[in-house]
Amino acid sequence: QDLTTVDNEKRQKAEALYHSLKSSQMADLIILFLEALSDRNRSELPHSSKLLTCILLRRAVVEEYESTFLQLNSNQKQLVADGLMFCIERERDSHVRCKLGDVCGELGDLIMSENGPDSWPQLVEYAMAKCMSEDPAHREIGLVVLKPIAGHLAQSFVDKSSEINVTTLVSLCQTCLLDNSNNGKVAISALLVAQSVISVFETDASEILNPVIMTMFRAFNNLFLCHLHDNQIISEAKLCLFLEILIEIAEDKPMLFVSQLNLLFDPIVALLNKSSNDAECAPQSVKLLLLEFLVELCESSPKIVRKIKGTRGESLFASKLVPLCLKWMAVREVVAGWEVAVTAEEAESEEWGSLSEVGESAVSRICSSLGVRSSYKVVSTEIAPYLTSDQWQCQVAGLRCLSLFLEYSAAIPDAALLTMHRREVVETLTLFATNKEPRVRATAYFAISQFFLFHRDSLAAGHHADPLLKVAAEGAAMNYNASPRVRRHALIALISIVDCSQYEYLEQRAPQLLSLLCSCLQEGPLLVQEQCLSAISSMVESLRGSDIWASCYSNLMPLLKQLLDFAQAGASDGTLPVFGLKVLECCAIVGDAAGRDVFVADCMGIMKMLVEMRQLPQEDSSGDLRHDNEVAVLKVWVQIARCLRAEALPHLNPVVAALFRLLSIDVRASPEQLSRLEAEKDDEDDEDDEDDDIEMVETADGNWVAIRCSAVEEQSAACKLTLLLVEALQEHMYVHLPALHEHVKHMIDSPHEDIRSYGLVMVPELIRCTGKAAAWEALNNSNITNKKDSVVERVRGALPHCLEALIKAVETESTLELIMTGLQALRQTVIYACTNWIEIVVNEANNAVSAGNKMKFETTPPTSSNRLKVLSHQQMCDITLCSRTVLRDSFQRRAVLRAEGQVSGVRDDDDVDDERNFMEESLELHNNVAEMVGTLFKMHGAEYFPVYMEQWHEIIHNASQPFCLKEDRQFSYYVISDVIEHGLGNNHNNHVQNFAAQYFGLVMDLLIAVCANNAPPPHGKHHVHNEDSGDIQLKRTCCYAIGIAAELYPTEFAPFVQAALQALWVCVNAGDAEGPGSRGPTTDNAISAVGLILESAESLSSASACGKTFNFVWGEWLSYLPLKDDVDEGGKVIAQLVRLVNHKHSALVGQRDRLIMTLSILLMVIDSEEYIPGGSNTPLSVQCKECVGGLLTLAAGFSIKSNSRSPESSPDSVSFSQWLAPFLCDKLRNIVAELGNSQLQQYPLYQQQQQFAASQGGCFDGSPLATAPIFDVIMR
């Protein structure tokens, strides 16, 4: 009793006595608690003291079960058990009695969890007897005790480990559910018991559980009717509590309710549609929970729910619930002064928690669950009358519904329907963006943002963008919109357009947009200026690398400085307000884009100002950042560091320390916070919103934990800034690397997936930081003789922890997105580990002057010529096993999806869409796995081949068979091509084993068969059939693999030459995606492979026997050049052509017609980026020009009447050079001129050209001699 007194002295003595007894005489203390609650002390102990005693008793025997109760001897345990039931029996206060019942039931749960349901039979008998009592109070307490142990009793029936009959429990639940006594407490307690029983069973126990499911709704109906009759007996809170428990059951076992939907759906919808004028209208809170129940079923079992159709074949859920939600969304009140919002918080505040917000959430969840096929027609039909209404509330509701649906309409499978939908959306939004009502305009701008966010694939190239860009820009201007709130929405829409637009489209419109944003910055108010800063930052990100920032710097930076001066002048305590920090951040972002040379002076000034104003991150006595502005300060400092790099280092220690503090905070809710939340739930009158910051999330291992949203937000910002800082400073962060390692480990173990994602991405940066720091140290230390080995050893020391963390994360993550992030991080870690950092830092030092204006934070991946083989055999095995696990789990998920489709009944179009979407996601995941395998081969070559053959080959070979899914075959052929290109050893290195012959015997028949559109022939027999069973993408990959095999391993490939050439020509004749005769990337790869095979085969001594055949094939190969659909292959083929011409290959330059074709091809590709990546500035383009000069020399010896070369032309024949001269194009004359005067005399064609020019009265250098381009002549 003294523990609850207001007398401090008494309370402190009582607390000291309590802690003394707890530490030394816990058993006696528990007995004291029970005696205090017994009958003889009832008159002496007040209600508050009894409640405190119950709490302390629960803490002792339940929360500290292992350290207290289990330490008691058997007599003491029996005394506690009997004492609890005795106290319950004697207690008359219902609140205290229920608290004791909770303690008794929870203790029984712990005992039965350890020893089985038969370990406390007296408790079971006591609870069952109480439940069957005629006294409602006894029934209630019996159900309270039974709830925690009911699951054990039901599980014993399922396991057949006990004689307990579950039908008794079910029957008991049914009886008590229909009992409205004790103000509905009996029915609610019975529902909790039923929840415990149901949680044990699988969905196939419907025969046992269906009766109790229907009884639940009868019970709710009884409670609801009783509430209508007298809301003092059954309160609204009791109805809501009943429904909340029902929703929890539906989340756990949705199929039990879905099977009864034909009986439940219509009555619930009818109750939801009753208006407030109806006498039987339910309270709004009850309606919200009923809707939540239906939406929860829709989300839990979408495949079955969407098959429930209405009378016209439409989705019943969508057709009934979307109209209801729209009606709720139109419930919006007129708010005075809505247009004039001062802060961003005011501008973002809508009717949160209101009926309209609930309706929006429900529409979004329904559309997401049912899919676009089931919801498109319903949503389109239902929003039409709202958009045509003359009431602004209805227009806003229609636009909000449209904006929500845009997320899902991007997946409309019919291309024509999708195009029409997008056109209609653009017309609608363009119209409403000019509406007279400010809230309608603001909603239209919000819809524009959503449109660009989810339909960016259509809008990136500028389709539909212009009209929406125009209205958004007009909406941001002050002369069009006086409302700051509306202008802010228009600027948000403008940012969405900027983020989604293609580089070229945006660069053309950037000057006008920047002019608009500068005007808005000058005009204000603050709400608009803040959004303008965000828009400028967004434009910088979208146009990074553009010269526009250097050119506009002189106009934009002074304006930003004016705003900074304004913000600084208004700083009362000497520190910048949030707006000033946002201006600073924008200055740093613009300066970084403009280039270091342009920005360095201003950047130094900004840093000096921050230091003088003591604008450095500081912590208070609790260790937290001093105020909310500190995150904004960190953003500015990170941008400064990205620009100044080493020059900012002296001031960065407080920045790094602040970031590390944020990275180390625990985002989990503390036990004290959870206890407060539990207490608030018990107090029905408590309206505190302290739990708004707490959210339940699922961790990587499948558990659920409570987290603090505010802490997650702060830590996410710190993770992003830390990543940017490490990317920019690289080796300069090495001094902080030990601490950073620990923080990254903490991030990867975070319960929130955003934090885990940042942690995964950070791991490769640790290796890059280590490698570059070790390289600089080795170069600057003359005592280190073998500098490369020194760096490798340092990287190898850091690598195991990084690989272990990534592999564990990839294997335990459950979401595809994080699995792929982990795989990409693992792949990048391997690349950085194998990079020659000595070579990298030397190149960076040499290029520092030229690269100073545009800082580059990327590192060029190593190639086979400069890679370092760093991974151990065990590490390669571990990474391989991790990749295999990912692939295995993906196959299992696909099998489960297909099984679910079969269980749900006849497959419909939505099922097909679901499977297609899943396959697309799986294909992306499989591509990541293939890239991981390819990276191991690229970095370690043939050293990885034995590991591959042991762990991968059987899987890949089986997946490549014709009877497998196309997606699996594509994955397998990607891997096979990487094995051939990077993993079979080097013919020129005697120290590396060559596995080509072994591997070609296993896979080459498969590759050839795909190109020839047929099943593979028996092993060892190379022939081609004409069965059509191929795929364009598969053939493209296989063509590439065959070409690489022939190029790298001509000897081992020799047995397959004839079959491969036949198959490739079948592939070429079959055409690309558009059918026979069409050209595309696949035919380009086939033609490229043909050239490589011919060249490699001719390098063998045995190839002379095929000379005539090869000569004909060379001509066919030449006729397909140049290639332009696959630019990479096109460049390779041109390089091969140049190489062959320089070696005077007889099949290309030994005949007049072939020489003409070769010359025309080279003329066509010179300076053209369509055929040569990079155009005229590349070495290949220069080689082509030199090659043309060599062809001109060869051309001088040909006669127009003879195909043979002869040093002396016959008198009656015309020289080929003379015949060619009138048709020389300008490009050819320019190329000849580029070769220089000193080289021109060696070309006889030059003199003949001069003679021809003189005969025409012109001159070589100035007269337009060409009457047609040479390739036009050849075509004729």
**1058-1088 tens-digit pLDDT:** 899 999 988 888 877 666 767 888 889 999 9
Say what the pLDDT of residue 1265 is: 33
Highest mean pLDDT (candidates 94-108, 412-426, 825-839): 825-839
Mean pLDDT of 620-630: 49
Say what the pLDDT of residue 880 is: 96
Structure tokens at 1141: 């011409």
In sequence order, the 6+-apart residues with CB closer than 8 A to the CB of 183 are 233, 234, 235, 238
Above 80 in pLDDT, residue 234? yes
Q: Report phi then psi at 1174, rounded to 5.
A: 100, -20
Above 60 in pLDDT, residue 230? yes
pLDDT band at 703 (very low <50, low <70, confident <90, very high): confident
If residue 698 lies in a helix (H) or strand (E), which one and from where to where?
strand 694-698
| 168 neighbors 212 (Cβ within 8 angstroms) | no
Q: Is 730 left (phi over 0), alpha (psi -120 to 50) or beta?
A: left
Above 60 in pLDDT, residue 655? yes
Mean pLDDT of 1095-1101: 79
- Tell whether the torsion through CA atoms of 44, 49, 55 and 60 is positive or negative: negative
More confident residue, 306 or 838: 838
In sequence order, the 6+-apart residues with CB closer than 8 A to the CB of 243 are 220, 286, 289, 290, 292, 293
Say what the pLDDT of residue 466 is: 83
Q: Report phi then psi at 688, rounded to 5.
A: -70, 140
Find tokens 């997936």 and name the residue: 753
If residue 936 lies in a helix (H) or strand (E), which one and from where to where?
helix 909-940
Say what the pLDDT of residue 572 is: 61
**What are 707's strand-pairing partners?**
668, 695
Can you tell me the distance from the alpha carbon of 312 to that of 381, in angstroms, rounded to the nearest whole number? 14
Say what the pLDDT of residue 902 is: 63
The overall longest dimension of the chain from CA atoms, in Å, is 140
Cβ neighbours around 614 below 10 Å, total: 9
More confident residue, 53 or 508: 508
In sequence order, the 6+-apart residues with CB closer than 8 A to the CB of 92 are 42
Above 80 in pLDDT, residue 830? yes
Mean pLDDT of 408-429: 88
Above 60 in pLDDT, residue 591? yes
Can you tell me the distance from the alpha carbon of 510 to that of 495, in angstroms, rounded to the nearest whole number? 12
Distances (CA, A) of 1257 to 1012, 1199, 1226: 58, 26, 18
pLDDT band at 306 (very low <50, low <70, confident <90, very high): confident
Q: Percentage of the chain with pLDDT > 70? A: 77
Can you tell me the distance from the alpha carbon of 1183 to that of 1186, in angstroms, rounded to the nearest whole number? 5
- Tell whether the torsion through CA atoms of 1040, 1041, 1043 and 1048 is positive or negative: positive
| 383 neighbors 924 (Cβ within 8 angstroms) | no
Above 70 in pLDDT, residue 809? yes
Peptide bond preceding 525 in cis form (omega within 30 of 0):
yes
More confident residue, 688 or 333: 333
Peptide bond preceding 1122 in cis form (omega within 30 of 0):
yes
**1237-1263 tens-digit pLDDT:** 444 444 444 444 455 445 544 433 333
pLDDT band at 1178 (very low <50, low <70, confident <90, very high): low
Above 90 in pLDDT, residue 691? no
Q: Percentage of the chain with pLDDT > 90? A: 26
Say what the pLDDT of residue 1072 is: 74
More confident residue, 108 or 609: 108
Q: Is 623 left (phi over 0), alpha (psi -120 to 50) or beta?
A: left
pLDDT band at 95 (very low <50, low <70, confident <90, very high): confident
Find tokens 């989705």 and name the residue: 315
Say what the pLDDT of residue 370 is: 87
Above 80 in pLDDT, residue 1133? yes
**What are 625's strand-pairing partners?**
619
Above 80 in pLDDT, residue 846? no
Can you tell me the distance from the alpha carbon of 271 to that of 288, in angstroms, rounded to the nearest whole number? 11
Task: Indicate the pairing of strand 694-698 with strand 704-708.
Answer: antiparallel
Closest alpha carbon to 491 in 464, 465, 471, 473: 473
Find tokens 């910048």 and name the residue: 576
Helix runs in 1196-1225, H state only: 1216-1220
Task: Say how many CA atoms lie within 13 Å of 229 toward its Cβ.
Answer: 10
Give how far the C-alpha of residue 316 lies from the chain's centroid of Cα atoms, to the nearest Å.
Answer: 33
> Per-residue DSSP letters for 823-887?
HHHHHHHHHHHTS-HHHHHHHHHHTHHHHSSS-----PPP-TTT------HHHHHHHHHHHHHHH
Can you tell me the distance from the alpha carbon of 803 to that of 805, in angstroms, rounded to the nearest whole number? 6
| 1017 neighbors 1080 (Cβ within 8 angstroms) | no
Share the mean pLDDT of the chain: 80
Say what the pLDDT of residue 1174 is: 55
Q: Is 353 left (phi over 0), alpha (psi -120 to 50) or beta?
A: left
Can you tell me the distance from the alpha carbon of 431 to that of 1127, in angstroms, rounded to the nearest whole number? 43
Can you tell me the distance from the alpha carbon of 1238 to that of 103, in angstroms, rounded to the nearest whole number? 104
| 741 neighbors 797 (Cβ within 8 angstroms) | no
Distances (CA, A) of 1021 to 397, 461, 1014, 1024, 1055: 69, 50, 14, 10, 10
Say what the pLDDT of residue 810 is: 93
Say what the pLDDT of residue 1276 is: 37
Give how far the C-alpha of residue 780 lies from the chain's centroid of Cα atoms, to the nearest Å.
Answer: 42
Helix runs in 307-437, H state only: 316-329, 344-348, 355-370, 372-387, 392-409, 415-432
Find tokens 């280190």 and name the residue: 784
Can you tell me the distance from the alpha carbon of 218 to that of 173, in angstroms, rounded to the nearest whole number? 13
Closest alpha carbon to 821 in 764, 761, 887, 767: 761
Structure tokens at 319: 């057709």
Mean pLDDT of 1095-1106: 66
Above 90 in pLDDT, residue 89? no
In sequence order, the 6+-apart residues with CB closer than 8 A to the CB of 909 are 373, 413
Mean pLDDT of 711-727: 90
> Per-residue DSSP letters for 185-240?
HHHHHHHHHHHHHHTTS-GGGHHHHHHHHHHHHHHHHHHHHHHHH-TTTS-HHHHH
Say what the pLDDT of residue 1044 is: 94
Structure tokens at 464: 């539909």
Say what the pLDDT of residue 1269 is: 39
Can you tell me the distance from the alpha carbon of 53 to that of 51, in angstroms, rounded to the nearest whole number? 5
| 40 neighbors 20 (Cβ within 8 angstroms) | no
| 405 neighbors 447 (Cβ within 8 angstroms) | no
Say what the pLDDT of residue 570 is: 67
Say what the pLDDT of residue 1029 is: 37
Mean pLDDT of 1202-1207: 39
**982-1021 tens-digit pLDDT:** 988 865 554 456 788 899 999 999 999 999 875 444 444 4
Say what the pLDDT of residue 758 is: 94
Can you tell me the distance from the alpha carbon of 743 to that of 573, in angstroms, rounded to the nearest whole number? 34
Mean pLDDT of 116-122: 86
Distances (CA, A) of 386 to 389, 448, 1230: 5, 18, 67
Say what the pLDDT of residue 697 is: 75
Say what the pLDDT of residue 826 is: 96
**What are 1205's strand-pairing partners?**
1198
Find tokens 């020391």 and name the residue: 797
Closest alpha carbon to 527 in 344, 338, 340: 344
Residue 176 buriedness (CB in 10 A; 0-12 / 13-18 / 19+)? buried
**479-510 tens-digit pLDDT:** 766 788 889 999 999 999 888 888 888 888 89
**866-905 tens-digit pLDDT:** 788 999 999 999 999 999 999 998 888 888 777 766 655 5
Q: Report phi then psi at 335, rounded to 5.
A: -105, 120
**What are 877's strand-pairing partners?**
none
| 173 neighbors 193 (Cβ within 8 angstroms) | yes
Closest alpha carbon to 394 in 384, 405, 407: 384
Can you tell me the distance from the alpha carbon of 941 to that of 862, in angstroms, rounded to the nearest whole number? 13
Say what the pLDDT of residue 1202 is: 40
**169-181 tens-digit pLDDT:** 888 888 998 888 8
Mean pLDDT of 1094-1114: 71
CA dihedral 447, 449, 453, 458 (to 10 degrees): 80
Can you tell me the distance from the alpha carbon of 602 to that of 563, in angstroms, rounded to the nearest whole number? 15
